[in-house]
Every structure is written in C-alpha cells, then in structure tokens.
Amino acid sequence: MAAAGEFLNYVLRSLKRGVELGGFPDDFYKIIAKPQRILAVSIPVKMDNGSYEVFEGYRVQHCDVLGPFKGGVRFHPEVTLADDVALAMLMTLKNSLAGLPYGGAKGAVRVDPKKLSQRELEALARGYARAIAPLIGDVVDIPAPDVGTNAQIMAWMVDEYSKIAGRNAPAVFTSKPPELWGNPVREYSTGYGVAVATRETAKKLWDGLEGKTVAVHGAGNTGAWAAYWLEKMGAKIVAVSSTNGAVINEKGIPAEAVLRYYQREIPFDAIPGSFVKDPDAPLYVEADVLVPAAVENVIRGDNVGRVRARLVVEGANGPTAPDAEKMLYERGVVVVPDVLANAGGVVMSYLEWVENLQWYIWDEEETRRRLETIMINNFAKVYARWEKEKEWTMRDAAIATALERIYKAMKLRGWI
Ligand code: GLU
C-alpha cells in the first residue's frame, strides 16, 4: 500500500503528463483532476457477537462524460478516500481507452473481509448497496467487484437493490454469478485479458509467448486466472505469491494448482515448488515477464533495482510507481500499463451489462471471442501510438489515447 495520498499523487502525475504530452489545454487537467461527485457512507453492521460495528465506505464518481459511471467496489482494511479517488480516475481512463460507453467510478469500504463471517459479510454488502442506492442505477452508475469482493457479494448487492427498486434490476451490478444474470467468462475475464495483453506484447517484442517464463505477484482472481491462461498460451509460470509467502519453481508451477489455491481447494504451500516467506519474491526472480497482480505501489524506487523481468504487465491497478517506471524504461524494460492490461474485467462487465439490459444471453465461447477481440484492438491502438512517440512510455500512449476521447466528448458536449 502507498502512504496516505501517495497513490493519488501518482495518478495525478500520470494524468498531468498525459494532458501535456497529448497537447490538451491546462483547463482540461483542472477538470479531470477532480471527481464530479463523492458519496461517503457509514454502514452499521450487527456482528455475530451482538455488538455493532460501523464501517466507512465511499463511492467516487469521477467523470461521466462518456456514459454512466462504471467501476468496482473494494473491500480492504487500508483503503482511503484518496485511494478511491485515484482508482476512480483510472477507471475513467480504462473505460475510455477500451472504447466503452462508460465514465469512471470506484467504491470502497474500509474493512478486512477475511475477518468477517459470511453472515457479517452479507450484512455489510447489503448495507453498502442500500447506502449508495440513491446514486447508482443501470444507466447511472454500475458497480462491480474489485479487490476483496466477488460474485457472491454482487449477488447480495443486486438482490438488495432489486428489493428497493421493487423489480429485478440485473444491469445495476456486473460480475454476478452465472446463475444470477452473470456470464461464465466474467470469473476469469481480468486474468484472461492480462494473458491476451501479454501475448500480444510478446509477439511484438519477441517471437511470441511460447516457452517464456512468467512470475506472478498475487494469486487472487487476477493473478490466478492470468497464470492459468498464460500457461495455456505456452508460457511457464515460475513464481507466484499470496499475502503470506511465495512459491518459486524454475521447472514450472502448474497453473491448475494456483487456481485450486485461489478456489480454496488446497493450501498455498501445497503449490509445487519451494516456499519462501517473502510475498514479494516473485518481483525479484529471474523471469521474462513479471505480472504484478495484487495491489498498487509494489514496484517502487527502493526495490525496482531488484526487478529482473524484461516485460512488466500490470494486472493490478497502479502497481508501478512513476519513478520506478522511469527507471525500468531506462533499462529497456517495457511496462504494459494497468488501464490497458487489466481492462478485461470491465470489458466483460460491459458485455454482461449489454446482455442484462436486453435480457439476452451469449454463450461462453461467443463472449470470450468478443472480449479477446476488444483486448487485441485495444492493444493494437496503444501500441501503434507508442511506436510513433519514441520518448513515451506505453502508459503515456495509453493515457494520451484515453484522454483524447474524453476531451473530444467534453468539447462536443460543451463542458469545456
Ligand atoms: N474492478 C475492475 C477494474 O478495476 C473491474 C471494474 C468493473 O467491472 O466495473 O477494472
């Protein structure tokens, strides 16, 4: 985790640089450097021991010039309002870059979900949905999961919202279980998108992904599924971590085992390989590709010197601090930025939302094909821009491209 406000400063720095490089006016920066609306909520939950705890939460609606606000909800013990603002800004960029008809938002509740019972977690999820209900809606603001939340939590939230609305309202939350208006691809879509972005980059930089080694930092939804799809695409997973340690295996970690750990079928140390206590070990192993897929600010000025990979693909939001990114580029290491690499989640959310609005169903293959096409086009667009601007990072190219669409929409609507 970054120090208070540090992550927001990083995102603002990237935004400012994007505005300057893209040649947009300063006033544009002034507007997008602030969220349009912030909702702060207190959620009382009756705990299993009979006492009440009051949790603090937010919904930050950053910008809706391109369409309804869209972005996940994070349950994390250290999340701050400033982090939530930064994450909402990244969603605006990510949604714009992916060509989606969405603005950007993000929700957060300061809580350690691992310390709650299922009943307490359900009460919190429903309480949060009730608290933000007046400001969300299927064409207003559409939440989804993020770190610490999942499809079950979306099921409770969509149920709570539907009760308030007095009708089933499937399109107001995305990434729901397949049995409840969700799509089976959503469970693995972020990791799948990360793998597609890695494969597309590997085709440009090298002769492809076949036989390349990959270290994955984090084994949550993004990390575990990225490992699974990267292996299917021919890569070899050589390191993976959880919050309590890491497993390293030069001969290759079977991605199936990582997935089984994520699905709580086996303990972490049952993943084949040597166990080490340092959860950051994957950042430093010898590998062609590093996929940071946990939280923000893990590759920093103070540890970037130890990173050995030639390519970093950001599965998490904001894992590379700007000073560290600069040093990586000086060493010839390419960083595929979060707003491009991890867009698979929200692109899939969009497909699910379209299905829900029409009460229509696409099958898994059809959905995955659509997701893959959008990811490939997204990558090609950013790569083409990056190739033209030799001094830029790939993040600069992604952000400038995303800002262009936002700026044009603001111009057309007369907001600037
Ligand atoms: N939480 C994911 C992200 O950061 C997905 C958001 C969504 O599906 O709305 O992109």
Whether the pLDDT of residue 1 is over 60: the answer is: no
Question: What is the number of the ligand 1 atom nearest to the C-alpha of 350?
Answer: 8
Separation of alpha carbons 16 and 9, rounded Å = 10
193 C-beta closer than 6 A to ligand 1: no
The residues annotated as belonging to the active site are 106
Q: Where are the domains of the chain?
A: 31-172, 189-336
From ligand 1's centre to the CA of 219, what distance in Å? 17
- Calculate the average pLDDT of the chain: 97
Angle at 264 between CA 260 and CA 267, to 5 degrees: 80
What's the burial of 216, exposed, middle or buried (CB within 10 Å: 0-12/13-18/19+)? Answer: buried
Res 390: pLDDT: 83
- Residue 52: what are its φ and ψ, rounded to 5°? -105, 140
What distance in angstroms lies between residue 277's CA and the mean position of ligand 1's atoms?
30
Q: Give percent of the chain above pLDDT 90.
A: 98
User: What is the per-residue DSSP string for 287-335?
Assistant: -SEEEE-S-SS-B-TTTGGG---SEEE--SSS-B-HHHHHHHHHTT-EE
What span, in angstroms and rounded, lies between the C-alpha atoms of 179 and 85?
A: 32
Q: Which tokens in the block code for residue 339?
A: 């707003």
8 A C-beta contact, residue 259 and residue 223: no
- CA–CA dist 211, 21 (Å, integer): 37
Q: How far apart are CA 8 and CA 81, in angstroms?
A: 10
Q: Is 292 in the pocket of ligand 1 (CB under 6 A)?
A: no
**Ligand 1: which atom is nearest the Cα of residue 74?**
1
pLDDT digits (tens, 9 = 90+) for 291-316: 999 999 999 999 999 999 999 999 99
Q: Quick check: CB of 71 below 6 Å from ligand 1?
A: yes
Kindly report, residue by residue over 171-196, the tens digit of the pLDDT: 999 999 999 999 999 999 999 999 99
Indicate if ligand 1 lies below 6 Å from the C-beta of 93.
no
Range 386-398 average pLDDT: 95
Atom index in ligand 1 nearest the CA of residue 346 equals: 8
* Biggest CA-to-CA distance, the chain: 62
Q: Check if 293 has its Cβ closer than 6 Å to any atom of ligand 1.
A: no
CA distance 216 to 210: 17
What separation in Å is there between the alpha carbon of 145 and the centre of ligand 1?
6
Q: What is the pLDDT of residues 352-375, one digit of tens each?
A: 999 999 999 999 999 999 999 999
Reported for 26-32, long-range contacts at CB under 8 A and 24+ positions apart, including other chains, are 27/416, 28/403, 28/407, 28/410, 28/416, 31/410, 31/415, 31/416, 32/62, 32/63, 32/89, 32/92, 32/403, 32/406
- The per-residue pLDDT for 3 is 67
Which of 349, 351, 352, 375 has most ligand 1 atoms within 8 Å of its beta carbon, as the pocket-test mutant? 349
The DSSP code for 3 is P
User: SS3 of 359, please?
Assistant: coil
- Which residues is 42 bridged to in the sheet? 56
Going by alpha carbons, the residue nearest to atom 9 of ligand 1 is: 71
Indicate if 189-336 has the same CATH topology as 31-172. Answer: yes
Superfamily (CATH) of domain 189-336 = NAD(P)-binding Rossmann-like Domain (3.40.50.720)
Rounded to whole angstroms, the Cα distance separating 377 from 382 reads 9
Tell me the pLDDT band of 2, cut-offs 50, 70 and 90.
low
Residue 143 CA: which ligand 1 atom is closest?
Answer: 9
Distance from the alpha carbon of residue 74 to the mean position of ligand 1, in angstroms: 10
Average pLDDT over residues 254-274: 97
- Flag whether pLDDT at 74 surpasses 80: yes
pLDDT digits (tens, 9 = 90+) for 84-128: 999 999 999 999 999 999 999 999 999 999 999 999 999 999 999
Reduced 3-state DSSP string for 37-81: EEEEEEEEEECCCCCEEEEEEEEEEEECCCCCEEEEEEEECCCCH
Distance CA 319, CA 105 (A): 19
**For 10-67, how does the pLDDT look when each residue is reduced to its tens digit (9 = 90+)?**
999 999 999 999 999 999 999 999 999 999 999 999 999 999 999 999 999 999 999 9
Compute the distance from residue 345 Cα to the ligand 1 centre, in Å.
Answer: 5
- Closest by CA position to 91, among listed 143, 53, 126, 40: 143
Binding site membership of 146 for ligand 1 (Cβ less than 6 Å): yes
Does residue 241 contact residue 282 with C-beta atoms inside 8 Å?
yes
Q: How far is CA 179 from CA 142, 164, 358, in A?
A: 19, 21, 17
What are 49's two structure tokens? 């021991």
- Find, among 284, 144, 117, the residue nearest to 221 by Cα: 144
Q: Is 346 exposed, middle or buried (0-12, 13-18, 19+ CB in 10 A)?
A: buried
72 CB near ligand 1 (under 6 Å): yes
Check whether domain 31-172 has CATH 3.40.718.10, yes or no: no
Q: What is the distance between the alpha carbons of residues 187 and 261, in angstroms, rounded to a whole number?
A: 15
Q: Which helix (H) or strand (E) holds 247?
A: strand 245-248
pLDDT reported for residue 22: 96
**Residue from 190, 375, 378 to probe ligand 1 pocket by mutation (most atoms less than 8 Å from CB):** 190
Six-digit token string for 362? 């696409």
Q: What is the pLDDT of residues 120-158, one digit of tens each?
A: 999 999 999 999 999 999 999 999 999 999 999 999 999
- Residues in a beta bridge with 214: 237, 289
Residues 107, 60 contacting (CB under 8 angstroms): yes
Beta strands in 102-223 (DSSP E): 104-110, 141-145, 213-217
Ligand 1 atom nearest the C-alpha of 342 is 10
312 CB contacts (<8 Å, ≥6 apart)? 289, 290, 291, 292, 299, 320, 328, 333, 334, 335, 336
